[in-house]
Amino acid sequence: MDDYPAIEDHGLIGDLQTAALVTCDGTIDWFCAPRFDSPSIFAALLDRNMGGYFRITPDGVKYVTKQLYQPDTPILITRFISADGVAEIIDFMPVAGDRPTDQHRLVRLVRMIRGSMHFKLECRPRFNYGRDPHDLEEHPEGYVFRSPTLTLTLNPVRPVPRLLRERDVMADGHDLVGRVTLQEGETGGIVLETASLRPPRIIPAEEVGAIFERTLDFWRRWLDRSTYGGRWREMVERSAITLKLMTYAPTGAMIAAPTASLPEQLGGTRNWDYRYTWIRDTSFSVYALLGLGFTEEASRYVEWLDERVREAGDNAAPLKIMYRVDGSSDLHEEVLEHFEGYRGSGPVRIGNGAADQLQLDIHGEALYAMHLADQQGIRPSHQVWRSTVRLVDWLCQHWDQPDAGIWESRHHPRNYTYGRLMSWVAFDRAIRLANRHGRPADVNRWVQQRDLVYNQIMERGYHLGRRSFVQSFGEPVLDAALLIMPAVDFITPSDPLWQSTLKAIEEDLVSDSLVHRYDPAAAPDGLPGDEGTFNMCSFWYVSALAGAGRLDDARLTFEKMFTFSSNLRLYAEEIALTGEQIGNFPQAFSHLALITTALHLNELLDNRQR
């Protein structure tokens, strides 16, 4: 188990259709193609022996390693520093464009800065989660790994073609291994390409340099569109780049994370596939994107959301809680029995069985996003509005029932307060949309249902014994998801009911700056084991403190959260009690919550200074 790198010891690169993780020792140990949710080519992150990897690392020398991003980009630089010399690996993926493609490139450049260094190269793909065999074909100018469903072409980069000379690189079964020495000033490299339409070739350094410059220019021009000039700008902009990396350009859909089955507890079983688009997560991203000035990205996602609303409304059915990036909803869950899991944390799951759960809250998140977009001029079409009306009418008939909740419990359904809260949001935002533009709808009915939900929450969602709003009706269990109540305008931060709720959550769920979602021992969720603190909830806690007027506490707590980020300012889903990052990585909800918290807190701090 010691052979597994820490989750936070990875950098993320991507081309807006798929992504890869690179460890700080120069190993690509996670890469799926041609899409985020496609079968893996490299998955040593989940099984060090059977998952496959592509490693370029110093050989026979003691070194320390550092990682950083080329400023304002996701171009990753891994530095190796030793007494013999200093070297860098530059990893990036050229942007793949807005049309789905099977062809994706991973560029790996090795540059010797000072002295000399020996390197070991290992390219060991394992297609289809290690289930498909592959052959290795040698060509005059490179190699092809060929599986039944996909090819991976290895192209060397001049001016160091000896990276692929016979004496330096050789077949190891159906894989490649090699050793090479680089001298000061030399640069070599590899371009891996999936589903290439041509045989391998030696790529001139000038061509790779042009690809690098185009990639650099794309990301810097994109980031220049940001309108954010407040505090914590570097953290906010890195989070924005990370969210962009997790957005599927052909549809505008954002995945929850690029990884699958990274554990929420080491050795535990809470391991899920997050390579899909959750209505909840990406709807909340609209606020973050609009707050930073990225209206095009918000508009693309809203278009994707509109299609899901039309499908649900036209079929008089609820929204699915998650979809694939192309909008399809077949997410059959299966266990990869042959993978041991990260540090032995099995089972390794792909697909997601929670996709068919009833989670009433997602309708509120969807209408919340549509309302925010509408305020910025991104208005629903006539057809989308008709479907929205049908969806809200469906909710009128079905909101008052148990569901699986925001945390996707695999235990029995409950009357979750958060689900009712977001049902209230759905009715409230739908009413606002209808009234703002005079759109046809049974607004009187919606108002009646909204008020019924509100009264039910106040009567049954607040536990007198706990002096707090609670996770589900009649159960004295707290839930950090309710930290969002003031942010959606359900209750004012000064309300005594909210003040006592915030105090109760602080006493039961907050440990310094870190917040637990809930206590699984007090509210069984159908799964064994425990979990870490949830980064999204920790950022929501900061916003709740700020809204309650505790600005100094909020700022300190917010900046404490920065100490738990990776060296590259990336966040997984959770933080373990030891301070390690756990869960899928990086996590969109963590980064979008950071952005929205920064926007809120920065505004309040500015107002205090005026």
Q: Is 543 helix (H, G, I), strand (E, B) or coil?
A: helix
- With respect to residue 121, please indicate whether it lies within any of the assigned structural domains: yes
- With respect to residue 293, please indicate whether it lies within any of the assigned structural domains: yes
* Per-residue pLDDT band at 526 (split at 50, 70, 90): low
- With respect to residue 5, please indicate whether it lies within any of the assigned structural domains: no
Q: Are residues 247 and 347 both part of a single domain?
A: yes
Q: In this structure, what token pair is assigned to residue 134?
A: 């592959």
Q: How are beta strands 253-254 and 247-248 bridged, if at all? A: antiparallel
* Per-residue pLDDT band at 525 (split at 50, 70, 90): low
Q: What are phi and psi of 578, to 5 degrees?
A: -80, -5
The pTM of this model reads: 0.96
pLDDT at site 172: 85
pLDDT at site 180: 87
- With respect to residue 1, please indicate whether it lies within any of the assigned structural domains: no
* Amino acid found at 425: V
Neighbours of 338 (CB within 10 A): 13
Peptide bond before residue 586 is cis, with ω within 30 degrees of 0: yes
Reduced DSSP (H G I as helix, E B as strand, rest coil) percent helix, strand, coil of the chain, to 5 = 35, 20, 40
Q: Are residues 213 and 240 both part of a single domain?
A: no
Residues 353-364, mean pLDDT to the nearest whole number: 92
406 has pLDDT over 70? yes
CB 391 within 8 A of CB 312: yes
DSSP 403: B
Place of tokens 């390197």: 119
SS3 of 289-318: the string is HHHHCCHHHHHHHHHHHHHHHHHHHHCCCC
pLDDT at site 294: 96
Q: Is 243 helix (H, G, I), strand (E, B) or coil?
A: helix
Kindly tell me the burial class for residue 276, based on how many C-beta atoms sit within 10 Å of its own C-beta (0-12, 13-18, 19 or more): buried
Q: Are residues 240 and 159 both part of a single domain?
A: no
223-236 pLDDT, tens per residue? 999 999 999 999 99
CB 587 within 8 A of CB 533: no
pLDDT at site 465: 95
Tell me the β-bridge partners of 268: none
CB 156 within 8 A of CB 202: yes
pLDDT at site 1: 43
Neighbours of 44 (CB within 10 A): 27
167 has pLDDT over 60? no
DSSP 481: G
Neighbours of 153 (CB within 10 A): 24
| Number of domains composing the chain | 2
Q: Is 385 helix (H, G, I), strand (E, B) or coil?
A: helix
CA-CA distance, 329 to 356, in Å (whole number)?
Answer: 9
pLDDT at site 163: 46
Q: In this structure, what token pair is assigned to residue 182?
A: 């680089």
pLDDT at site 315: 85
Q: Of 17-31, 88-102, 157-171, 555-569, which gets the smallest average pLDDT?
A: 157-171
Q: Of 91-95, 315-319, 562-566, 573-577, which gets the smallest average pLDDT?
A: 315-319
Residue 147 sits in a domain of what CATH number? Answer: 2.70.98
Q: Are residues 124 and 41 both part of a single domain?
A: yes
Of 292, 301, 294, which is closest to residue 250 (Cα–Cα)?
Answer: 301
Q: Are residues 286 and 396 both part of a single domain?
A: yes
Mean of per-residue pLDDT scores for the chain: 94
Q: In this structure, what token pair is assigned to residue 455?
A: 């009264």
Neighbours of 457 (CB within 10 A): 22
- With respect to residue 570, please indicate whether it lies within any of the assigned structural domains: yes
Residues in CB range of 541: below 8 A, 6 or more apart:
480, 483, 505, 510, 513, 515, 557
- With respect to residue 228, please indicate whether it lies within any of the assigned structural domains: no
Q: Of 93-107, 209-223, 251-265, 525-539, which gets the smallest average pLDDT?
A: 525-539
DSSP 189: E
Neighbours of 511 (CB within 10 A): 12
Q: Which domain holds residue 104?
A: 10-223
Residues in CB range of 273: below 8 A, 6 or more apart:
37, 260, 261, 331, 333, 349, 350, 351, 352
Residue 297 sits in a domain of what CATH number? Answer: 1.50.10.10
Q: What are phi and psi of 294, to 5 degrees?
A: -90, 70
CA-CA distance, 197 to 554, in Å (whole number)?
Answer: 54
Listing DSSP states for 118-160 in one string gives EEEEEEE--HHHHTS--EEEEETTEEEEE-SS-EEEEEEETT-
65 has pLDDT over 70? yes
Boundary (domain end) residue, out of 200, 223, 246: 223
Q: Are residues 265 and 216 both part of a single domain?
A: no
* Amino acid found at 317: A
- With respect to residue 369, please indicate whether it lies within any of the assigned structural domains: yes
Peptide bond before residue 493 is cis, with ω within 30 degrees of 0: no
* Per-residue pLDDT band at 20 (split at 50, 70, 90): very high
Q: In this structure, what token pair is assigned to residue 318?
A: 């609820």
pLDDT at site 408: 85
Boundary (domain end) residue, out of 170, 196, 223: 223
CB 103 within 8 A of CB 25: no
410 has pLDDT over 80? no
Boundary (domain end) residue, out of 201, 223, 245: 223
Of 123, 151, 143, which is closest to residue 200 (Cα–Cα)?
Answer: 143
* Per-residue pLDDT band at 166 (split at 50, 70, 90): very low
Handedness of CA 363, 239, 566, 77 (dihedral sign): positive
Q: Are residues 316 and 401 both part of a single domain?
A: yes
Q: Are residues 576 and 427 both part of a single domain?
A: yes
Q: In this structure, what token pair is assigned to residue 199?
A: 């045989």
Q: Of 208-217, 254-263, 264-273, 452-461, which gets the smallest average pLDDT?
A: 264-273
Q: Are residues 216 and 239 both part of a single domain?
A: no
Q: Are residues 200 and 240 both part of a single domain?
A: no
Q: How are beta strands 10-14 and 76-81 bridged, if at all? A: unpaired
Q: Are residues 267 and 196 both part of a single domain?
A: no
